[in-house]
Every structure is written in structure tokens, then in C-alpha cells.
Amino acid sequence: MVQVGKMLKPDKWQATFNSDGRVFGFHKALKLIVLGGVDPSIRAEVWEFLLGCYALGSTTEYRRQLRTARRLISSHFPLSR
């Protein structure tokens, strides 16, 4: 059963990052996710980590560069025409 009070909220999610933007203590965030889900306002960002789009050890700057590169590639090679 999902426990709404245990949901991963934005403040708890931000607390999992260090000054470089690397994730630490992910097991605590994961426990909240399993028990109560993810607040809708941070769902997309959290899922990028859960799906392995970003490594937990990646920095904020590295993720920014990766997003920029993905957008550039997708603009040159659209999936549908």
C-alpha cells in the first residue's frame, strides 16, 4: 500500500544532492519512493535517475551537457517524419 505521508517530496529530493550535484544517500530516497511514490513536481527528474539516464555519481554540469547533446541529436534525427 502506498503511504502518502512517505512520498518523496522536493525538499527530500534536493537533500540527496551534494554541492557538485552528485547524488548521495539514494537508498533513503528510494525507500520513500517505494513506500509512498514521488511528488508529481519532481517525477520526471527522479525517473531519469531510476531509469539509468543519469548515473548517481554524475554532476549537475555533466547532466546539463548531456541534456544539451540529446536535444541537439534529436533535432537532427527526429524519430518521426
Place 26 in a pLDDT band, splitting at 50, 70 and 90. Answer: very high
Given the C-alpha cell 548517481, which residue does it identify? 56
Q: What are the domain boundaries of the chain?
A: 4-76
Q: What is the pLDDT of residue 24?
A: 93
Amino acid letter, 59: T
Q: For residues 32 and 34, what is the distance between their CA atoms, to the nearest angstrom? A: 5
Q: For residues 51 and 69, what is the distance between their CA atoms, to the nearest angstrom? A: 18
pLDDT mean over 1-30: 90
Mean pLDDT across the chain, nearest whole number? 92
Q: Residue 60 in 3-state DSSP?
A: helix
Place 29 in a pLDDT band, splitting at 50, 70 and 90. Answer: very high
